[in-house]
Amino acid sequence: MAMCASILRDPEEASDVAQEAFVQAYRSLAGYRGDGTFGAWVGRIATRMAVQRADAVRRRPTTGNMPAEIRADDVQVDPERRFVNAENATALRAAINRLPADQRQVVTLRFFKDMPIEQIAVETNAPVGTVKSRLHRAIERLRGQSDLRWLS
């Protein structure tokens, strides 16, 4: 989120992009090759999305020069997008809450607290390999959740 905030310079926009990036990462789990850390992969997605959003905002005409009906349409689209993003994030958080405690813990530390695997191992008093396998099993379990299939 910090990278999104530094690119967009708007905390609300940065929060939206970070949330969208997490959902996009979930949708693209099958494409994760494991070359680097999962956090770095999600970070690249978020950075790319933030740059795209910043470009779109920069190219967007100012509302002062637009007819009133166009400005009204813009206001209606943005809340809808925010609602859909919030619904997706709610479904994902509910799925994470259904994970077994050990898997839920590593997912929370890794993706919500942005901890590296090694630090999670220290925090949970588990070997690095165990943390990696718990994280892998959690991701596989999330992929199989029937109520999340509509996100992919």
Give span(s): CATH 1.10.10.10, the chain: 65-152
Say what percent of the chain tops pLDDT 70. Answer: 74
Most confident of 67-76, 96-105, 122-131: 122-131
Strand ranges inside the chain, DSSP E: none
pLDDT in tens, 18-27: 888 888 887 8
Question: Which of the four CATH numbers 1.10.10.1100, 2.60.120.260, 2.40.420.20, 1.10.10.10 does domain 65-152 have?
Answer: 1.10.10.10
* Count of other CB atoms within 10 angstroms of residue 142: 19
Query: No. of H helices and E strands in the chain?
Result: 7, 0
* Count of other CB atoms within 10 angstroms of residue 64: 6
CA angle 54, 70, 80 (to 5 degrees): 65
Alpha carbon distances (Å) from 92 to 11, 15, 47, 67, 147: 22, 16, 21, 39, 9
Can you give the pTM of this predicted structure? 0.47
